[in-house]
Structure 1
Amino acid sequence: MKESAPLSPTQLTLFDRWWRAANYLSVAQIYLLDNPLLREPLRREHVKPRLLGHFGTTPGLTFVYLHLNRIIKEKESRVLFIAGPGHGAPGVVAATYLEGTYSSYFPEVSQDLEGLGRLVKQFSFPGGIPSHAAATTPGSIHEGGELGYSLSHAFGAVLDNPDLVVACVVGDGEAETGPLATSWHSNKFLDPRYDGAVLPILHLNGYKIANPTILARIPDEELTALFRGYGYEPVIVAGDVPDEVHQAMASAMDHCFDRIAQIRRDAREGGETARPVWPMIVLRTPKGWTGPKEVDGKRCEGYWRSHQVPLTDLDKPGHLEILEHWLRSYAPETLFDEKGRLFEEIAALAPRGDLRMSDNPHANGGQLRRPLRMPDIETHALAVPSPGSVIGESTRILGNWLREVMRANLEQRHFRVLSPDENNSNRLNAVLDVTDRAWMADTLPYDDHLAPDGMVMEILSEHTVQGWLEGYLLTGRHGFFSCYEAFVHIVDSMVNQHAKWIKTSKEVPWRRPISSLNYLLTSHVWRQDHNGFSHQDPGFIDHVVNKKADIARVYLPPDANSLLFVARHCLESWDRINVIVAGKQPEHQWMDMDAAIAHCSQGVGIWSWASNDKGHEPDLVIACAGDVPTVEALAAVRILREEAPHLRIRVVNVVDLMTLQSPSEHPHGLDDVVFDNLFTVDRPVIFAFHGYPQLIHRLVYRRSNRGNFHVHGFREEGTTTTPFDMTVQNELDRFHIVLNAARRVPALSGHAAYMTQMINDKLVAHNRYIRQHGEDMPEIRNWRWQEGCDS
Structure 2
Amino acid sequence: MHTFFTFITLMTSLTSVDLDTSQYSVKVDISRVSKDDLKPYIKLQRATNFLAGAMIFLKSNVLLRNKLTFDDIKPRLLGHWGTCPAINLIYAHCTRIIKSQNQRMLLVTGPGHGAPANLANLYLEGSLSKFYPQYSLTEKGLFNLIRGFSWPGGFPSHTNSELPGQIHEGGELGYALAVSFGAALDNPNLVVTCIVGDGEAETGPTATAWHAIKYLDPVTSGAVLPILNLNGFKISERTIFGCMSDDELVALFTGYGYQCRIVGVNLQDVQQDMAASMEWAIETIHTIQEKARSGNPIYKPRWPMIVLRTPKGWTGPKEAHGKRIEGTFHAHQVPLPKANTDKEELELLEQWLHSYKLDELFSENSLPKKDVTDVFPEDDYKLGMIADSYNGYKPLDLPDWKDFGVSDANASPMKISGKFLASVIERNPQTFRIFCPDELMSNKLDAVFGVTGRAFEWDKDVFSKNGRIIEILSEHTCQGLLQGYTLTGRTALFPSYEAFLGIVTTMVIQYAKFVKMGKETKWRSDIASLNYIETSTLWRQEHNGFSHQVPGFINSLINLKSDMIRIYLPPDANCMVSTLRHCLRSKNYINLMISSKHETAVWLNPEEAETHCRAGVSIWKSYSSDHGRHPHVVLVGCGVETTFEVLAAAAMLRKDCPNLKVRVVNVTDLMVLGFDHPHALSTTEFASVFGDQQPIIFNFHGYNSVIKGLTFERNNVPDRMSIHGYKEEGTTTTPFRMLTANGCSRFDIAIDALQRVAPNDDVDIDVHTLITSYRHQIREHEKYISQHGEDPAHFSERPNF
TM-score interval (norm. to shorter):
over 0.9
* Counterpart in the other structure of 2:589: 576
Whole-angstrom CA distance in 2 between matches of 1:649 and 1:695: 24
Q: Is the 8 A contact 2:620 2:628 kept in 1?
A: no
Map Cα deviations across residues 679-711 of structure 1 (whole Å, 9 max, x no partner).
Answer: 112110000000101111110112113221111
What SS does structure 1 have at the residue aligned with 2:225?
A: strand
Q: Is the 8 A contact 1:697 1:709 kept in 2?
A: no
2:421 equivalent to 1:395 = no
* Counterpart in the other structure of 1:309: 334
* Counterpart in the other structure of 1:457: 470
Sort the Cα spacing of 1:429 and 1:772 in 2 relative to 1 into closer, same or farther, 3 A.
same
2:462 equivalent to 1:438 = no
Whole-angstrom CA distance in 1 between matches of 2:793 and 2:216: 51
* Counterpart in the other structure of 2:325: 300
Q: Is the 8 A contact 1:138 1:359 kept in 2?
A: yes
What SS does structure 2 have at the residue aligned with 1:283?
A: strand
* Counterpart in the other structure of 1:387: none
Whole-angstrom CA distance in 2 between matches of 1:129 and 1:403: 43
What SS does structure 2 have at the residue aligned with 1:424?
A: coil
Within the candidate set 18, 37, 47, 2:73 is matched to 47
Residue identity in the other structure for 2:255: G
* Counterpart in the other structure of 2:795: 780
Within the candidate set 259, 262, 268, 2:284 is matched to 259
* Counterpart in the other structure of 2:708: 697
* Counterpart in the other structure of 1:269: 294
Matches within 5 A, 1:464-543: 464-543=477-556
Matches within 5 A, 1:303-382: 303-314=328-339, 315-366=341-392, 369-382=393-406
Question: Post-superposition shift, 1:754?
Answer: 0.8
Residue identity in the other structure for 2:735: P
Whole-angstrom CA distance in 2 between matches of 1:230 and 1:52: 37
Map Cα deviations across residues 157-210 of structure 1 (whole Å, 9 max, x no partner).
Answer: 010000000000110011111110101111111111111011110100001111
Matches within 5 A, 1:621-660: 621-660=634-673
Identity of aligned residues (%): 46
Whole-angstrom CA distance in 2 between matches of 1:253 and 1:76: 14
Within the candidate set 766, 782, 796, 1:767 is matched to 782
Residue identity in the other structure for 1:16: I
Residue identity in the other structure for 1:62: N
* Counterpart in the other structure of 1:710: 722
Question: Post-superposition shift, 1:676?
Answer: 1.0
Sort the Cα spacing of 1:615 and 1:552 in 2 relative to 1 into closer, same or farther, 3 A.
closer
Whole-angstrom CA distance in 1 between matches of 2:28 and 2:586: 51
Residue identity in the other structure for 2:510: Q
* Counterpart in the other structure of 1:36: 62
Residue identity in the other structure for 2:540: R
Give the alignment's Cα RMSD to 1 decimal.
1.3
Sort the Cα spacing of 1:262 and 1:151 in 2 relative to 1 into closer, same or farther, 3 A.
same
Within the candidate set 716, 732, 739, 2:751 is matched to 739
Whole-angstrom CA distance in 1 between matches of 2:545 and 2:694: 37
What SS does structure 1 have at the residue aligned with 2:238?
A: coil
Q: Is the 8 A contact 1:437 1:451 kept in 2?
A: no
Whole-angstrom CA distance in 2 between matches of 1:106 and 1:240: 39
Residue identity in the other structure for 1:374: L
Within the candidate set 701, 716, 721, 2:733 is matched to 721
Within the candidate set 749, 753, 756, 2:771 is matched to 756
Sort the Cα spacing of 1:6 and 1:96 in 2 relative to 1 into closer, same or farther, 3 A.
farther
Whole-angstrom CA distance in 1 between matches of 2:221 and 2:688: 54
Within the candidate set 185, 191, 195, 1:159 is matched to 185
2:447 equivalent to 1:422 = no
* Counterpart in the other structure of 1:284: 309
Q: Is the 8 A contact 1:6 1:250 kept in 2?
A: no
Whole-angstrom CA distance in 2 between matches of 1:151 and 1:360: 19
What SS does structure 2 have at the residue aligned with 1:751?
A: helix
Whole-angstrom CA distance in 2 between matches of 1:589 and 1:767: 28
2:108 equivalent to 1:82 = yes
Whole-angstrom CA distance in 2 between matches of 1:86 and 1:704: 46
What SS does structure 2 have at the residue aligned with 1:318?
A: helix
Q: Is the 8 A contact 2:169 2:511 kept in 1?
A: no
Q: Once structures 1 and 2 are overlaid, which stretch shifts more, 294-303 or 11-20?
A: 11-20
Q: Is the 8 A contact 1:436 1:451 kept in 2?
A: no
Q: Once structures 1 and 2 are overlaid, which stretch shifts more, 151-160 or 325-334?
A: 325-334
Map Cα deviations across residues 56-86 of structure 1 (whole Å, 9 max, x no partner).
Answer: 0110000000011111111110110011103
What SS does structure 2 have at the residue aligned with 1:25?
A: helix
Whole-angstrom CA distance in 2 between matches of 1:153 and 1:60: 21
Question: Post-superposition shift, 1:119?
Answer: 0.4
Residue identity in the other structure for 1:472: Y
What SS does structure 1 have at the residue aligned with 2:31?
A: coil
What SS does structure 2 have at the residue aligned with 1:690?
A: strand
Whole-angstrom CA distance in 1 between matches of 2:157 and 2:31: 35
Question: Post-superposition shift, 1:451?
Answer: 5.4
2:197 equivalent to 1:171 = yes
Q: Is the 8 A contact 1:382 1:560 kept in 2?
A: yes
Q: Once structures 1 and 2 are overlaid, which stretch shifts more, 48-57 or 337-346?
A: 337-346
Q: Is the 8 A contact 1:190 1:452 kept in 2?
A: no
Residue identity in the other structure for 1:17: K
Q: Is the 8 A contact 2:628 2:662 kept in 1?
A: no
* Counterpart in the other structure of 2:425: 406
Whole-angstrom CA distance in 2 between matches of 1:716 and 1:451: 46
2:92 equivalent to 1:92 = no
Question: Post-superposition shift, 1:9?
Answer: 4.4
Residue identity in the other structure for 2:705: Q
Q: Return the TM-score normalized by structure 2.
A: 0.95
Structure 1 regions of 5+ residues with no counterpart? 385-389
2:86 equivalent to 1:60 = yes
What SS does structure 1 have at the residue aligned with 2:226?
A: strand
Question: Post-superposition shift, 1:365?
Answer: 4.4
Residue identity in the other structure for 2:523: W
Whole-angstrom CA distance in 2 between matches of 1:534 and 1:684: 34
Sort the Cα spacing of 1:270 and 1:378 in 2 relative to 1 into closer, same or farther, 3 A.
closer
Question: Post-superposition shift, 1:778?
Answer: 3.4
Structure 2 regions of 5+ residues with no counterpart? 1-26
What SS does structure 2 have at the residue aligned with 1:526?
A: helix
Q: Is the 8 A contact 2:412 2:597 kept in 1?
A: yes
Q: Is the 8 A contact 1:86 1:143 kept in 2?
A: no
Question: Post-superposition shift, 1:270?
Answer: 4.8
2:561 equivalent to 1:554 = no
Sort the Cα spacing of 1:311 and 1:268 in 2 relative to 1 into closer, same or farther, 3 A.
same
Residue identity in the other structure for 1:507: E
Whole-angstrom CA distance in 2 between matches of 1:678 and 1:66: 62
Whole-angstrom CA distance in 2 between matches of 1:615 and 1:374: 36
Within the candidate set 668, 672, 679, 1:668 is matched to 679
Map Cα deviations across residues 93-118 of structure 1 (whole Å, 9 max, x no partner).
Answer: 11111101111110011111111111
2:172 equivalent to 1:146 = yes
Map Cα deviations across residues 213-267 of structure 1 (whole Å, 9 max, x no partner).
Answer: 11111111111011111110001101474x5210111111111111111111111
Q: Is the 8 A contact 2:628 2:664 kept in 1?
A: no
Residue identity in the other structure for 2:410: I
Q: Is the 8 A contact 2:180 2:224 kept in 1?
A: yes
What SS does structure 2 have at the residue aligned with 1:263?
A: helix
* Counterpart in the other structure of 2:8: none
Whole-angstrom CA distance in 1 between matches of 2:250 and 2:798: 64
Q: Return the TM-score normalized by structure 1.
A: 0.96
* Counterpart in the other structure of 1:383: 407
Question: Post-superposition shift, 1:741?
Answer: 1.3
